[in-house]
Structure 1
């Protein structure tokens, strides 16, 4: 899979956040999107994912314009909604109705050191972030978009995140971040 950005620009009201961005990335790459606060990192990965429309330019997937987010796409950020009334087991079973799991729900929870039968609303913020990351790591996804993925993770959670990320060889992963630990795991970088 190849994602191409041609002359991408985004403005809010009269202010351009970024303009005339050109890039091309392929499956197997992990791409860091970096820049100062307010530079548009989160906005750019949402445009690449198809969740936002650029003000100018176009995103192509394998040479074709992106219309809707692909069902083989996962977007995870610390602000991504999660169903807090569900237990982790219920949440992962629900998610399994839309995407093919790569292993059992029990293996997912064990890998992330999370309890299956506890209500997600009772999780700490770091535990909730690991639950979100499970949807990227343990389900079939060709494209993964991670916005500040290690927010709220402790050292053990960071090590788990990094070990899961290193398993990807055919997926295209975008990470919006300024954190050196997150950037250092990437094979390419696009700075805003």
Structure 2
């Protein structure tokens, strides 16, 4: 049985020429609105128990509206949402807080709206206060709080009891780095205990580290639902290519999905990872010197040509990336028909694991401006520890040590 079912949910915000027309529509009288704006269209998905789902999309894609419908603070125009479990939600910052009440008083109020008795809240109020870590401000009016302090109290009360479903919007992004780490640690603990997670974020790393599935919204519709790495590669491509006309996805022999986009003024002919002997390699030692060789062809005259690469770990999270613009080596006024060979040399100071390399050809400091070609998963390689000291992590940063007495 699914813990949550979202079936053909659509939402329209309507304007009427008079309030009377709005009122009579409530009683079932057909009334044509003067203006109608559909922000969600036929959104459907199911979430299983213990699953972690990330929702991504550009501003205005409908993410926050969808979460409000799921939590019941907004009614859908069409469709339905079924939830089998208790929801704890972190949506708009301070939503439901009375600015004239203290943090402590707001905790009792908010937890009461979540269905907890005063005795229930009494049993956890000290833990909520300790987790929020705002000191004496806990007994001061919320109007004196910073946005980060509001978020601390809101998150602490929303997660005082482990919910069946935890929904987190971008609210956590206003907190300081320390509390963000603390919050995500609690979210991970809930996940391990079986809580279903629904998180909205522009932070690719947060979603890919927490979630096993991602949903991409665009113009109020689901355009991608699947592996977080594939979804964010696709998301990255449509951000670079606003009309989405050049975005292509193909399955590789290893089962991975490669996303490619760009307007085609320049293209990658070949790319390979080479060892010191000049041989192509797919398995390298920790810290081994390697070269990334990329051959490109220019199809049309371009004002500026920049080549960049990005190393990603097995989850698709960025490990390191740079480009010739930031290295002060862009090519300017490049003519059609030109071909170039690039070589990037570096030591693979990476942890043990599987990695991929994406490459991009563009103008300016980023592929978002003038994206000639972006390709994910151009190269895949493995890093093994053949002769280094044992260590853990995604980076090899060997220290020296001294000890005095």
TM-score range, shorter chain: 0.7 to 0.9
1:188 matched to 2:213: yes
Which stretches of structure 1, 4 residues or more, deviate above 4 A after TM superposition? none
TM-score (norm 1): 0.81
Q: Residue 11 of structure 1 corresponds to which residue in structure 2? A: 12
1:96–1:81: structure 2 CA closer, same or farther, 3 Å change rule?
A: closer
In 1: Cα distance, 2:154 partner to 2:9 partner: 28
Look up the match of 1:85.
Answer: 100
Q: How many residues align?
A: 184
- Indicate if the aligned counterparts of 2:12 and 2:77 stay in contact, CA closer than 8 A: yes
Deviation of the 1:103 alpha carbon: 5.6
1:129 alignment partner, SS class? helix
Change (3 A) 1:94 1:54: closer
Query: Aligned Cα RMSD in Å?
Result: 2.5
Return the TM-score normalized by structure 2.
Answer: 0.41
Structure 2 residues without counterparts, runs of 5 or longer: 15-35, 218-405
Does 1:53 pair with 2:92? Answer: no
What do residues 172-192 of structure 1 show as CA deviations (whole Å, max 9, x unaligned)?
A: 232222223442322321110
Over 3 Å counting, the alpha-carbon distance change for 1:80 and 1:181 in structure 2 is farther
Task: Flag the 1:170–1:12 CA change in 2: closer, same or farther, 3 A.
Answer: same
Higher relative contact order (CA 8 A, sep 6+): 1
Question: Could you tell me how far apart the structure 1 residues matched to 2:199 and 2:142 are?
Answer: 25
**Change in CA separation of 1:134 and 1:37 when aligned onto 2, cut-off 3 Å:** same
Which structure: larger Rg?
Answer: 2
Name the structure 2 match of 1:109: 129
- Residue pair 1:149, 1:175 contacting (<8 A) in 2 also: no
Q: Greater strand percent: which structure?
A: 2
> Structure 1: which 5+ runs fail to align?
63-69
State the Cα deviation string for residues 38-77 of structure 1 (Å, max 9, x = none). Answer: 0100011111122222222222235xxxxxxx8x333322
